[in-house]
Amino acid sequence: AHIDPTHADFFTLVLTGTLSQMPDADVFLESLHDLFARRPEARRRVRAQLAGPFEGSHADRAIALGLTGIVRFTGPLAHEETRALQRRADLLLLWKPRGPGYRTMVPGKLYEYLDAGGPVLAMLDTHDEAAALVRRAGGEVVPPGDRAPMTDAIERRYLAWKDGRRTRAPRPPWLEEHTRAALAARLAGLLDGLPRRGA
């Protein structure tokens, strides 16, 4: 029988969104491998669910690192399933494409993560705009491309969970102005203010 990886017996890490062209996906897998080398008992308690488009190379890397049965690549899920998965997570993972052109890009899933109430662990450059939002909401940011800080952060969260301290993050009050409804209303107001052709 398939065991739900977000069952209460497991410390569940969740990423929703694309894994394609994301080198930090492999950094995360290596971090898990390092965690299990450090704490072998965690192999029975930690599960990761990565929901979104992915490359076969990531799944191959997970197998090579001995993570079969621990890391699950679901592929894309329906939006309702994705949101439910985010709400059940013990730790929500975030990374994005690297490079100066992405510094001001804030992934839409970050707003969903903050709304879901789970703690966020983001692999982002410290000056990234999304990193500032993660820290502002009480999440943790580690540098991209470096598995040691990621391993340490996952270990701290896992040990807290093991001790019965399952943390939830309060929904930031400022998040309301970033909901789809609020953004749509703001856009509608801007469009209403434009001069009409022929007027």
- Res. 9: pLDDT tops 60: yes
Which of the two residues, 182 and 145, has the higher pLDDT score? Answer: 145
Q: What is the pLDDT of residue 187?
A: 64
pTM: 0.81
Q: What is the pLDDT of residue 184?
A: 61
Tell me: the pLDDT tens digits for 93-152? Answer: 999 867 666 666 678 888 899 888 889 999 999 888 899 999 988 899 999 999 999 999
Distance separating alpha carbons of residues 113 and 135, to the nearest angstrom: 13
- Which of 45, 56, 46 is closest to 19 using CA atoms? 56
N-terminal to C-terminal alpha carbon distance within the chain: 66
**Residues 46 and 13 sit within 8 Å (Cβ to Cβ):** yes
- Which of 35, 48, 41 is closest to 5 using CA atoms? 48
**Residues 50 and 81 sit within 8 Å (Cβ to Cβ):** no
